[in-house]
Structure 1
Amino acid sequence: MKISKAQLKNVTFLVIIVLLLIPKTRQSIQILLNKGLALIAPSVEKDSNQKMLSETDYLWNLQSTSGALLHFDDLKGKVILVNFWATWCPPCIAEMPSLEALFQDYKNEVAFVFVSNETHETTKTFLNDKNYSFPSFVPLTEYPKLFNVSSIPRTFLIDKSGHIVIDKTGAANWDSDKVKQTIENLLAN
């Protein structure tokens, strides 16, 4: 019995569907699929489309997994990367290696604010297991309305003046030359 290409495709598709239905394999497959999507660098907003943080948007308080308080208004005048994420989110997990690489390259020049609504224990365990060194925070007050986070991952790159230069929902390649050049330009201004 010879199997046609069409039959092979159908069987492969059926196997993937079955694997997605099994809880133990679902997240791994979703992460793998999202890693493919995370190969693409995020788009930079045109100047005319850039939104700007207002004074009230900076009135946001967070607490790090180590217990340190962060007042978002202390970051005014800096280049800021804000990432909303969760340990259970496959697209978040898929983009984490590129965010960690970007953090390693710019941790002394850019303020990185990784925000999760999960407990400190949950995020700390996840970060330690994956050997990620970027800081994670839990919001103590409501996040700025301008962010309008309805799905994760959601990442914002903000210039020194408070303009949102990149607004990306979904996984992306944050360690790309395009993102690095954008950051270099923002740091130079």
Structure 2
Amino acid sequence: MNWIKKNWSNVLFVVLIALLVIPQTSTPIKAFVSGLFAFSPSVQDVEDREVLQSYDWQLVDMNGTQVDLNTFRGKKVLVNFWATWCPPCIAEIPSLQALYDDYSGKVVFLFVTNDDKATVEKFITKHGYTFPIYHEVSPAPAELQSSALPTTYLINEKGEILIDKTGAADWNSEQVRSLLE
């Protein structure tokens, strides 16, 4: 007992490292830490905004229905690239679900993943998420291509990319909500 009192910080460090090494506990811990540092994303300055040059992008939803981005030309669109194994993705999803709950009638939400259907279904059922999930059938337009997860884009009715955010963010913020109105 005396040894533990003297070395409590070393014991705590070893326990923390063990929790981060074990796959079942490391992802939730990393997601929690990512969530602590997730802030509202920055809006692109008007002169720095990219504009979608092509809406040629085909997706398929979890039911097998094909969707074409051309269908959403002239609408606000939020595109989120994510994965079930990605701690920053897991950290930001609750804030995106809150936006989806409040704006699904006004904004098109495209949650795009490469994870297999069974893994995604298990994940969304476990967490109670209701947003629509898609897989890519064709490559995304050049302006929406990224190799990092999560990456989220908010596109206005003119095709301007208002937000281009890589990494976890708090999407359920007044700033983002004002852009969705």
Query: What is the distance in 1 between the residues matched to 2:12 and 2:179?
Result: 41
- Correspondences of 1:176-187 after superposition (within 5 Å): 176-184=173-181
Seq. identity, %:
41
Structure 1 partner of 2:50: 51
Query: What is the distance in 2 between the residues matched to 1:20 and 1:114?
Result: 28
Query: What is the distance in 1 between the residues matched to 2:142 and 2:64?
Result: 25
Structure 2 partner of 1:32: 32
Q: Following TM superposition, by how much is the alpha carbon of 1:182 offset from its aligned partner in structure 2, in angstroms?
A: 1.9
Structure 2 partner of 1:16: 16
Q: Following TM superposition, by how much is the alpha carbon of 1:27 offset from its aligned partner in structure 2, in angstroms?
A: 1.0
**Which secondary structure does the structure 2 equivalent of 1:121 belong to?**
helix
Structure 2 partner of 1:187: none
- Is the counterpart of residue 163 in structure 1 residue 122 in structure 2? no
Query: What is the distance in 1 between the residues matched to 2:177 and 2:27?
Result: 30
**Which secondary structure does the structure 2 equivalent of 1:94 belong to?**
helix
Taking a change above 3 Å as real, the CA distance of residues 24 and 49 of structure 1, as seen in their structure-2 partners, is same
Cα RMSD of the aligned pairs, angstroms, is: 1.7
Query: What is the distance in 2 between the residues matched to 1:144 and 1:93?
Result: 25
Query: What is the distance in 2 between the residues matched to 1:148 and 1:14?
Result: 40
User: Which ranges of 4 or more aligned residues in structure 1 deviate by more than 6 Å?
Assistant: none
Match for 1:168: what amino acid?
A: K
What 5-or-longer segments of structure 2 have no aligned partner? none
- Is the counterpart of residue 97 in structure 1 residue 94 in structure 2? yes
Taking a change above 3 Å as real, the CA distance of residues 121 and 19 of structure 1, as seen in their structure-2 partners, is closer
Taking a change above 3 Å as real, the CA distance of residues 25 and 125 of structure 1, as seen in their structure-2 partners, is closer
Q: TM-score, normalised by structure 1?
A: 0.88
**Which secondary structure does the structure 2 equivalent of 1:53 belong to?**
coil
Equivalenced residues, count? 179
**Which secondary structure does the structure 2 equivalent of 1:129 belong to?**
helix
Structure 1 partner of 2:141: 144
What 5-or-longer segments of structure 1 have no aligned partner? 185-189
- Is the counterpart of residue 129 in structure 1 residue 100 in structure 2? no
Structure 2 residue corresponding to 1:172, chosen from 159, 169, 172: 169
Query: What is the distance in 2 between the residues matched to 1:169 and 1:14?
Result: 32
Deviation per CA, 1:28-60, whole angstroms, max 9, x where unpaired? 21111112122x1111111011111003xx110
Q: TM-score, normalised by structure 2?
A: 0.91
Check whether the contact 1:65–1:123 (CA below 8 A) recurs between aligned residues: no
- Is the counterpart of residue 60 in structure 1 residue 61 in structure 2? no
Structure 1 partner of 2:72: 75
Query: What is the distance in 1 between the residues matched to 2:117 and 2:95?
Result: 22
